[in-house]
Amino acid sequence: MINKSLTALLLIFLFFVSKTYSSENNIYKKIDLFGEVLEKINKEYVDEVNQSESMDSAINGLLQSLDPYSAYMSPEIFNEMQTETSGEFGGLGIEVSMESGVVKVISPIDDTPASRAGIKAGDYIVKIDDIQVQGKSLSEAVDLMRGPVGSGIKLTIRRRGEKKALTFSIVREIIQIQSVKADLLEKNIGYIRLTSFNENSGSQIKKEIEKFEKNKNLKSYILDLRNNPGGLLSQAIKISDFFLENGEIVSTKSRKTSENRKWFAKKGDLINGKTLLVLINYGSASASEIVAGALKDHKRAILLGESSYGKGSVQSIIPLKNNGAIRLTVAKYYLPSGKSISEVGVSPDIEVSEDSDDFRIKTETDNQLSYAIKLLNG
């Protein structure tokens, strides 16, 4: 009996060893094949090939095949990302990702060159000056958009609903983001505009709420998350908690179940149960979707506007031996309902689309804000 058991265990062991060896052997064959292809390109391709650039492109292609947010950063690009270049380089003020080989605008940031020029969430950047974006990595495309403050750049855009490509001439600036703006509307609505989730966003919003709560005429609040591309998860949790008494805010799930996490609200609603309306659009992404989704799932807020972007994943920057790095998706966000935000986004309770091409947030053309005010004041 013992001999039979030992024989069975040995057969199982050999099966798994054989399977593992077969899998590893197949990977090594693929690596050999890659080397052979690279060698053929170097010998036979019509033009001379930069082998280093070819390898970088191959690595980046591997990462971009996973999702739009994973990417390779060469030592030069990684160093630039880490280096403080205050006053030396300017930007456009857009959050971008890579989709189908072109750069996609997640969101233009308020009061930046891109926003003022008319760049919109969902736009596809197909050319930077006269350089085609197709074939470039996200890091390379972003690097092309950087440059000295005051220098000009031309972006060629493909926009949904437009038959012809659009061209925008923009002047680079130092991008200084004012994360929180607040205003009293119609003498009884506390309006809070959040443009990004940085380390001070939560404390700034709390200060504005404390000011509003001293106003005895205040009836309701509007939290404006439109064109907010996201930021720090910790701030999204903190801000959601301002309006919730209890319950789950968000959870993250990764490949390793031991690293899965959940965050819960603590007792205490800073606005004391007053009506809360949240404005969202396609430019609301990541941390914005966590806040909007948590408040919707707990039926604590009315969501108005357009469906959000659908970026429900967590990226880590992982340094490499060559002094470069990879940006790799390591987890996904899940709302209290258990729904994933990825590729789906958060849908509004009341859908109101932008009315015109001249639409600008919190101006006379802002029909979504006008609708929200009328709804709250009946």
- pLDDT mean over 97-109: 88
Whether residue 58 is contained in a domain is answered as: no
What is the predicted pLDDT for the residue at 81?
67
Instruction: Report whether pLDDT(88) > 50.
Output: no
What pLDDT score does 64 carry? 85
134: tokens are 């197709």
- Is the domain of 285 the same as that of 255? yes
Q: pLDDT by residue (tens digit) across 129-173? A: 999 998 888 888 888 998 889 999 999 999 988 999 999 999 999
**293 and 219 within one domain:** yes
Residues 243 and 143 in one domain: no
Q: What is the mean pLDDT of the chain?
A: 89
**Average of pLDDT values for 86-110?**
81
Which of 118, 139, 171 is the last residue in one of the domains? 171
pLDDT digits (tens, 9 = 90+) for 295-331: 999 999 999 999 999 999 988 889 999 999 999 999 9
Q: Which residues are catalytic?
A: 286, 297, 311
102/128 same-domain check = yes
Last residue of a domain, one of 132, 152, 171: 171
Q: Which pLDDT score, from 0 to 100, does residue 82 have?
A: 63
Residue 144 near residue 136 (C-beta atoms within 8 A): yes
> Looking at residue 101, which CATH number applies to its domain?
2.30.42.10
When divided into structural domains, the chain yields a total of: 2
* 213 shares its domain with 350: yes
Q: Give the C-alpha separation, 128 to 154, whole Å.
A: 6
* 3-state secondary structure string across 341-357: CCCCCCCCCEECCCCCC
Residues 286-295: pLDDT tens digits? Answer: 999 999 999 9
Whether the predicted pLDDT of 11 surpasses 60: no
Q: What is the per-residue pLDDT for 16?
A: 52
127 & 193 share domain: no
Residue at which a domain ends, from 149, 171, 193: 171
The answer to whether residues 119 and 261 belong to one domain is no
Same domain, 126 and 200: no
Provide the domain limits for residue 116: 87-171
What confidence score (pLDDT) does residue 23 get?
62
Considering the domain architecture, whether residues 101 and 120 belong to the same structural domain is answered as yes
DSSP letters, 169-205, are EEE-B------EEEEEETTTEEEEEE--B-TTHHHHH
Domain identity same for 134 and 255: no
Question: Residue 1 pLDDT > 80, yes or no?
Answer: no
* Residues 221 and 191 both lie in one domain: yes
